[in-house]
Structure 1
Amino acid sequence: MPKILISGYYGFNNIGDEAILKGLIEGVKRIFENVDIVVLSQYPDFTAKKHNVRSIKRTSIGDMFREMKDMDILVSGGGSLFQDVTSKRSIAYYLGIIWLAKRIFKKKVMIYSQGIGPVNKKYNRWMLRQILNSVDVINVRDEKSKLELQTIGVKKDILVTTDTVFGIKRPCLSKGKEVLTKMDRYKDKQYIGISVRPWKNNHDITREVAKLCGKIITELNHTPVLIPFHFHKDLKLMENIKKEVDELYRDKVVLMDEYLYVDEYLSLIGNMDIMVAMRLHGLIFSVLMGVYPVGISYDPKIQSFMHMMNRCDALDVEHINADILFEELKEAIKENSKNVEELEKSLDSFYSMIELQNQKLYELIKS
């Protein structure tokens, strides 16, 4: 039975990263009937219970050493682990784990469906180049990430596929319907999901998204649903947005203030007509569930994902504007049947990419 140790940003209540882990685990279990999976997590008990795997504390060096001794492979899995914009220290942590696996324990390492960069500091770029040139397989989720690594000086072959979340089996819509029924006092409406995150210009985001909610209610006769993805970080911003909406129709805005997990989030988004998202996995969840995504970009990874679907650039968060977003929503509703057809084509492509990266993992473990 192969033993796989998985490293990533897990156990932090960020639903995007939890979905990455779910997709990775489901992918591994599709290629191995019997497998021992161990996950490094901030809250191991939570991770073990949710994903039916073994889990250890991500900062416990002793536990990490014990698991690395007899593992077959370290999988550095998903997300944007190798960047120094939102965190200055995390890149050193994730690269340090890879260094331990390769240099101390002489184990195989696969970089699995990573988004790379931006990496701005000279030392971080040097460290990334040195360590990634020593791993066995590098798999990134977009062409931009491949270019970033090549620019830094990584000489290894780089497999480009897509985000790990596309390895999740699409859940039924009934769970999400139940959540909406409980939260929405105005039943049987059409819904537009909105997910934004805290950023430098929080005041602008609050004002413009609140204005957008008003236009969705009064001009489109839809119900806006505010959905926090990194629950404890996003919820306060969502609460402020709802408070900013005109009191005449504020109670028609649905705020998802109940913590959900991956399948519930996916099912909820599957009940939307359109999903407006600033977080990458808000967009990815919507595509997986066949819901048209409208992006707001705070990071190059957003534009990179939009380009993978042959879409134009998303609106930059620095110039967030309710009127521009509303026009895009109107056009999306008008072209709904065409958009859904195009989404399914993109989804078929993403599914095939997922199987490609899982096959590469299988071959590496068996070699």
Structure 2
Amino acid sequence: MGQIRAVLCGYYGQGNAGDEALLASLLQMLPPYVTPIVLSANPKKTRDRYGVESCSRKAFFPVQQALRKSDVFIWGGGSLMQDATSALSPLYYAGLMGLAQKRGLKTIAWAQGIGPLNRNLTRWITRKAIAGCHAVSVRDRASAALLTDWKIPYIQAPDPVWALDSKPVKGLWDLPAPRVAVTLRSHPQLTPARLDNLTRALIDFQKATQTCILLVPFQASQDLAIAQSIQPQLPGASHIFSLKDPRELKGLFQGVEMAIGMRYHSLIMAAAQECRCFALSYDPKVSLLMEELNMPGWDLTQLPDDPNLISQTWLEHYVNGDPLSPHQIQSLVDRALMHRDLLSDALGAK
């Protein structure tokens, strides 16, 4: 079989570790006869980190050239088609998908988390773009229900990051144990009052457990300032881990007893490494993950006002909570590899 060229399109090169983890998972799962061209907001960093060809995602002529010399177009994983944060984002992704389909490329919507779609226009555009794809996979039952309603064939499997390879983190094992990882991000629902309550709860929790707190920004522009504001207030050992390689981020959780997280992929990475997890949901995708894994947590809008109640709840889960069993994790990993099988089946011939 000859080499196939594939354009990979997602929220890549934006400094978001979750989307970088999806790109790393996609590259890991691509058949060896596929040469990727990644559309990125930072092509140089993408080339250097993954050793792949990359071009600017918003440079019209390079993108056109990449499509002209390719056989396949793949929407990378994640919540690309949603209008909760931006009405323009789905127009961009649907526009590229439509252009690829018009050029006759084989098109794949891969590991999608579709929605929320609050506008009729973005809902219509999403349906039209996905209906034109040769193959579709989704990562949650809400997306699956939507495609069922639209009568579009698909496979449903857990997020690909469950199956992402991990790498050891330099210096992690030099820090005192036990360790607890915390991943918070800026969001309208994380009000100053709620952040203050979480910080006070974390202080009490650390005093009670004598744990080393690892503050883990997943996107520096949204997470780092919060981590930097919390760390000086902690009475015990702590460390901020700003890791760029998503495989190292996943590896970080190998040395962690418990994770408290807002970030969707921080909870997946932690659960995959047998951590106890406690979720703080700001988005339907996090709430769905909590339901699917029976993961304890709160919707941020329902966060208790009493820091003592928060810390006591965390302490109870730290002492008595159970991580996923190795059997449960292996089942999720095996099913996540269905996204790899879809790629192999779809790309088996031009």
TM-score (norm 2): 0.92
State whether residues 111 and 138 of structure 2, in contact with CA within 8 Å, keep that contact through their aligned partners in structure 1.
yes
| Residue 139 (str. 1) matches residue 137 (str. 2) | yes
Question: Which structure 1 segments of 5+ residues have no match?
Answer: 182-186
Alpha-carbon distance in structure 2 between the residues aligned to 1:65 and 1:267: 37
* Equivalent residue number for residue 314 of structure 2: 329
Corresponding residue number in structure 1 for 2:125: 127
The aligned counterpart of 2:20 is 18
Counterpart of 1:273, as a letter, is: E
1:231 to 205, 215, 220: 220
8 A contact 1:206–1:240 mirrored in 2: no
Decide which of 3, 10, 13 is 1:8's aligned counterpart: 10
Paired letter, 2:25: G
Asked whether 1:199 is paired with 2:187, we answer: yes
| CA positional deviation for 1:319 | 2.4
Show CA shifts across 1:326-355 (max 9, x none). Answer: 34433333335xx24x34233212212222
Does residue 67 of structure 1 match 2:56?
A: no
Determine the structure 2 residue equivalent to 1:117.
115
Within 2, Cα distance between the matches of 1:271 and 1:209? 23
Q: Confirm or deny: 8 A CA contact 2:83 2:117 kept in the other structure.
A: yes
- Aligned match of 2:38: 39
3-state DSSP class of the match of 1:326?
A: helix
Matched residue, 1:158:
154
Cα distance per residue 1:59-95 (max 9 Å; x no partner): 1221122221232211101111111112221111111
Residue deviations 1:244-272, cap 9 Å, x none? x3xxxx35252416444223322222211
User: Which of 261, 267, 279 is 1:277 aligned to?
Assistant: 261
Q: 1:116·1:149 contact (CA, 8 Å) conserved in 2?
A: no
Letter in 1 for 2:26: L
Q: Distance in 1 between matches of 2:46 and 2:195?
A: 33
* Offset, 1:50: 0.6
1:190 maps to 2:192: no
- State whether structure 2 residue 303 is matched by structure 1 residue 320: yes
Residue in 2 that maps onto 1:291: 275
1:132 deviates by 1.4
Distance 1:324 1:26, change over 3 A: farther
Say whether the 8 Å CA contact 1:209–1:241 is kept in structure 2: no
Identify the range of structure 1 (324-333 vs 288-297) with the bigger mean alpha-carbon deviation.
324-333
Separation in 2, partners of 1:253, 1:207: 20
> In 2 relative to 1, CA 285–110 (structure 1 residues): closer, same or farther, beyond 3 Å?
same
Task: For residue 6 of structure 1, give the secondary structure of its aligned residue in structure 2.
Answer: strand
TM-score, normalized by length of structure 1?
0.88
Checking the alignment, whether the CA contact within 8 Å between 2:202 and 2:311 is kept in structure 1 is no
Q: Residue in 2 aligned with 1:355? A: 337
| C-alpha separation in 2, matches of 1:140 and 1:77 | 11
How far residue 148 of structure 1 moved from its aligned partner, in angstroms, is 3.2
**Partner SS for 1:252:** coil
In the aligned structure 1, how far is the partner of 2:316 from the partner of 2:204? Answer: 14
Is 1:220–2:222 an aligned residue pair?
no
Structure 1: which amino acid aligns with 2:314? L
Instruction: Provide closer, same or farther for how the CA distance between residues 224 and 53 of structure 1 changes in structure 2, counting only shifts above 3 A.
Output: same
How far apart, in 2, do the equivalents of 1:202 and 1:237 lie?
12
Whole-angstrom distance in 2 between the partners of 1:323 and 1:100? 54
Provide the rounded CA distance (Å) in 2 between the counterparts of 1:237 and 1:333. Answer: 23
Superposed displacement of residue 292, structure 1: 1.7
Cα pair 1:102 1:134 within 8 Å, conserved: yes
* Native 8 Å contact 1:108 1:136 kept in 2: yes
The amino acid that maps onto 1:112 is W
Question: Please, which of 228, 240, 263 is the counterpart of residue 256 of structure 1?
Answer: 240
Q: Which residue of 2 aligns with 1:184?
A: none
1:167 matched residue in structure 2? 163
**1:290 deviation in Å?**
2.0
What is the CA distance between 1:199 and its match in structure 2? 1.4
Question: Can you give the 5+ residue segments of structure 2 that lack an aligned partner in the other structure?
Answer: none
Distance 1:43 1:332, change over 3 A: same
C-alpha RMSD over aligned residues = 2.0
Residue identity in the other structure for 2:184: V
Matched, 1:240 2:229: yes
> Do the aligned partners of residues 324 and 94 (structure 1) sit closer, same or farther apart at CA in structure 2, a change above 3 Å counting?
farther
Please report how far the alpha carbon of residue 212 of structure 1 lies from its aligned counterpart in structure 2 after TM superposition: 1.9
1:284 CA displacement: 0.9
Check conservation: 2:277, 2:295, Cα contact below 8 A: no
Structure 1 counterpart of 2:154, one-letter code: I
What's the % identity of the aligned pairs?
23
Count the aligned residue pairs: 344
Equivalent in 106, 109, 112 of residue 108 of structure 1: 106
SS in structure 2 of the partner of residue 87 of structure 1 = coil
Q: Deviation digits for residues 139-184 of structure 1, max 9, x if unmatched?
A: 1101011123445xx3211211111212312334xx25x1463xxx
TM-aligned CA deviation for residue 5 of structure 1 = 1.1
